[in-house]
């Protein structure tokens, strides 16, 4: 993919603004997005080993920074793991690296992919858009921040069901068009 890193970041920011925050899929995203404490890192490589090294570096960087400076990191890899099954396989590697880095329980990894599909769902189920993104990416989050955000939310357990209902109400065509518009 020959899209400049700056453009990939613009697309990812639009995705957060218009889908993640705009459709209130993650009520916790608005604050770090507004404060500018989300780190956007693009890994242009097609090589999984290089992605793994970048992931280790991103984990170390996030751990070392105060949350007031960098609350969370999106490691965007548009040229690597574009096949969803290969991406899923890599998530086990990512979790292993998190443990090996001694950061299990400190950081966690959320997954997003353009072809994301939850187990036991149809590929065309609009509910899959809760984890569909313009590019494959790994989202590094601080466990402490997630715990605090969930504790303060009046119905954190209800978020997934509400998202499924909202996304199905919007429909796959509308959501796919939104992703395509984001990438213009």
Which of 33, 89, 71, 73 shows the shortest CA–CA distance to 148? Answer: 71
- The pLDDT, as a whole number, for residue 129 is 97
- The pLDDT, as a whole number, for residue 22 is 95
Radius of gyration of the chain (CA): 16
Q: Which two tokens stand for residue 5?
A: 């890193």
- The pLDDT, as a whole number, for residue 2 is 81
- For residue 38, the cross-strand partners are 72
Cβ atoms of 77 and 136 within 8 Å: the answer is: yes
Q: Which two tokens stand for residue 129?
A: 């858009």
- The pLDDT, as a whole number, for residue 58 is 98
- The pLDDT, as a whole number, for residue 1 is 60
The DSSP letter of residue 48 is H
Which residues, 6 or more positions from 54, have their beta carbon under 8 angstroms from its beta carbon?
41, 43, 45, 75, 77
The model carries a pTM of 0.95
Give pLDDT < 50 ranges for the chain.
none
């Amino acid at each position: 993919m020959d899209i400049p890193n700056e453009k990939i970041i613009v697309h990812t920011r639009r995705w957060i603004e218009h889908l993640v925050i705009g459709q209130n899929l993650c009520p916790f995203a608005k604050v770090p997005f507004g404060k500018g404490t989300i780190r956007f890192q693009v890994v242009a490589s097609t090589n999984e080993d290089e992605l793994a090294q970048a992931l280790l570096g991103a984990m170390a960087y996030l751990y070392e920074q105060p949350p007031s400076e960098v609350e969370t990191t999106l490691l965007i890899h548009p040229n690597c793991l574009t096949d969803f099954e290969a991406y899923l396989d890599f998530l086990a590697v990512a979790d292993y690296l998190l443990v090996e880095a001694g950061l299990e329980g400190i950081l966690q990894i959320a997954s997003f992919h353009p072809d994301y599909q939850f187990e036991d769902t149809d590929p065309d189920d609009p509910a899959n858009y809760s984890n569909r993104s313009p590019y494959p990416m790994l989202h590094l989050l601080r466990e402490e921040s997630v715990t605090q955000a969930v504790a303060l939310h009046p119905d954190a357990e209800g978020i997934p069901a509400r998202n499924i209902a909202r996304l199905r109400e919007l429909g796959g065509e509308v959501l796919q068009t939104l992703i395509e518009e984001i990438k213009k």
